[in-house]
């Protein structure tokens, strides 16, 4: 349910309504809009009828049901787009945000060299996995905390923000100590214990779609993070499993306009994992921006042929710089900047 407050209500009015909601055993989430505030009330559906009665309060304009199963993520609760602020960087605003870097952090030399080239070409966020969820237990699993330290060093050297993956609930605080944005990967899309922990930290979450989750399931999974009070969630389409084998996954660009319709959360696209081959990344990056994405996450490696993970889909620095030039006119054509 969502409680729409009358315009011109006082802070005391708001607090009084919040107290009533809590008394009914529901969790209130205050969303301040441009013109009025609303309170998204989530929890046991049985509190619904009693909540409806709050419509009789002077400061309350109406109490409405939220029809979508994803409540706080839905446009029904918040019509205006969410802009996730990462320090001075806005994700979901007019400017397209490009996150780039290696699949895995491999060494100081590798991450510092990559950070320098992606920054030079115009990226504002450095990616790099320190904890890697690999399909095989025998594949490189990441440098763990040492990798986080190297990322922090690259941030110091370049001023880039850092996004890196967390795979276990017990590592969330450690990763949050180093990262500017925590990534939750496709394989953990429905790891609800991890999502709840990510809801408790005060860092934005880059939440990737699962390779076999529908858009509705995806948004309900995102709801786990929002329901714990972390509203800074960035969604990411990264390809789904289909019958097609010519590419690693099928990048579902339908998801971009559909998500923009259903949710206020920013949406970025990962054409590296979505296609699985560097040759296709530039075309799908342009397509993603044309479709309405707020940004891209790309894999870049100084020597892709030596990469410890995802070398085939990683761009050489020169190709990345060309990509950045190629997406600019597309961004401008859809009213965005880069």
Residues found near ligand PEP in the complex (CB under 6 A):
103, 129, 133, 185-187, 208, 238, 270, 273
User: What is the C-alpha to C-alpha distance for residues 159 and 155, in angstroms, rounded to an integer?
Assistant: 5
> Binding partner of residue 238 among Mn ion, ligand PEP, none, CB under 5 to 8 Å per kind?
ligand PEP
How far apart CA 66 and CA 89 sit, in angstroms, is: 31
Structure letter (DSSP) for residue 304: G
| Phi, psi (deg, nearest 5) at residue 99 | -105, 130
Which residue, 38 or 249, is less far from ligand PEP as judged by CB? Answer: 249
DSSP 55: G
Q: In terms of CB distance, is 96 or 184 closer to ligand PEP? A: 184
Could you say which of ligand PEP, Mn ion, none residue 248 binds, taking C-beta under 5 to 8 angstroms by partner kind? none
Instruction: Work out how close the CB of 106 gets to ligand PEP at its nearest, in angstroms, rounded to a whole number.
Output: 13
Give whichever of 185 and 199 is closer to ligand PEP, judged by the CB atom.
Answer: 185
User: Which one, 119 or 273, has the nearer CB to ligand PEP?
Assistant: 273
Place of tokens 């991890």: 194
Calculate the alpha carbon distances from 150 to 54, 209, 211, 329 in Å: 53, 27, 29, 34
Q: How far is the CB of 89 from Mn ion (least distance, A)?
A: 22
Closest CB 99 distance from ligand PEP, rounded Å: 10
**C-beta closer to Mn ion: residue 82 or 314:** 314
Closest residue by Cα to residue 161 from 271, 278, 295: 295
Nearest approach in angstroms of CB 277 to ligand PEP is 15
CB of 109 to ligand PEP, least distance (A): 20
Alpha-carbon distance of 27 to 182, in angstroms, equals 25
- CB of 224 vs ligand PEP, minimal distance in Å: 17
Q: Which does 256 bind (CB under 5 to 8 A by kind): Mn ion, ligand PEP, none?
A: none
Contact criterion met (CB below 8 Å) for 319 and 123: no
DSSP 8-state secondary structure symbol assigned to residue 305: G
Asked if 221 is part of the footprint of Mn ion (rule: CB under 5 A), the reply reads no
State in angstroms the smallest separation of the CB of 181 from ligand PEP. Answer: 12
Q: Which residue is nearest to ligand PEP (CB)?
A: 185
The CB-of-219 to ligand PEP minimum distance in angstroms stands at: 17
Q: How far apart are the first and last CA of the chain?
A: 38
Cα–Cα distance for residue pair 63/65, rounded to 1 Å: 7
Tokens of 202: 């005060």
Q: Answer yes or no whether residue 103 interacts with Mn ion by CB under 5 A.
A: yes
Stretch that binds Mn ion, among 29-37, 60-68, 98-106, 188-196 (CB under 5 A): 98-106
**Locate tokens 């959360």: which residue?**
265
Choose from ligand PEP, Mn ion, none: what does 208 bind? Cβ within 5-8 Å by kind: ligand PEP
Q: Which of 310, 314, 317, 324 binds Mn ion (CB under 5 A)?
A: 310
Question: Does residue 181 touch Mn ion according to CB under 5 A?
Answer: no
Query: How many residues make contact with Mn ion (CB under 5 A)?
Result: 2
Planar angle of CA 54, 57, 63, nearest 5 degrees: 40
32 C-beta neighbours (distance < 10 Å), count: 11
- Contact of 313 with 273, CB cutoff 8 Å: yes
Nearest residue by C-beta to Mn ion? Answer: 103
Report the relative pairing of strands 233-237 and 267-269 from DSSP bridges.
parallel
Summarize as ranges the residues that interact with Mn ion (CB under 5 A): 103, 310
């Amino acid at each position: 349910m969502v409680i729409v407050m009358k315009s011109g209500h006082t802070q005391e009015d708001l607090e009084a309504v919040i107290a009533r909601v809590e008394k009914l055993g529901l969790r209130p989430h205050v969303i301040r809009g441009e013109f009025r505030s609303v309170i998204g009330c989530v929890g046991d559906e049985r509190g619904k009828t009693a909540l409806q009665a709050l419509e009789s309060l002077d400061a309350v304009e109406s109490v409405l049901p939220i029809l979508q199963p994803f409540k706080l993520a839905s446009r029904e609760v918040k019509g205006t787009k969410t802009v996730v602020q990462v320090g001075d960087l806005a994700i979901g605003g007019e400017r397209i945000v490009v996150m780039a870097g290696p699949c895995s952090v491999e060494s100081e030399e590798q991450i510092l060299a990559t950070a320098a080239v992606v920054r030079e070409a115009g990226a504002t966020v450095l990616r790099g996995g320190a904890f890697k969820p690999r399909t095989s237990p025998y594949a490189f699993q990441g440098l763990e905390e040492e990798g986080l330290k190297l990322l922090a060093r690259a941030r110091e050297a370049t001023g880039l923000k850092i996004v890196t993956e967390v795979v276990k609930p017990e590592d969330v605080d450690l990763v949050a100590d180093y990262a500017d944005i925590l990534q939750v990967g496709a394989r953990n899309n429905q790891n609800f214990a991890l999502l709840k922990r990510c809801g408790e930290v005060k860092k934005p979450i880059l939440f990737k779609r699962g390779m076999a989750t529908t858009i509705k399931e995806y948004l309900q999974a995102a709801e786990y993070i929002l329901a714990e009070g972390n509203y800074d969630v960035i969604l990411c389409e990264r390809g789904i499993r289909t019958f097609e084998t010519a590419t690693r996954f099928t990048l579902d660009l339908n998801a971009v306009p559909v998500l923009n319709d259903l949710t206020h959360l920013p949406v970025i696209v990962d054409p590296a994992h979505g296609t699985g081959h560097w040759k296709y990344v530039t075309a799908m990056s342009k397509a993603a921006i044309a479709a309405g994405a707020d940004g891209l996450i790309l894999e870049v490696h100084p020597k892709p042929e030596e990469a410890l993970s995802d070398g085939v889909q990683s761009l050489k620095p020169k190709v990345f710089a060309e990509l950045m030039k190629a997406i600019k006119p597309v961004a401008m054509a859809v009213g965005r900047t880069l």
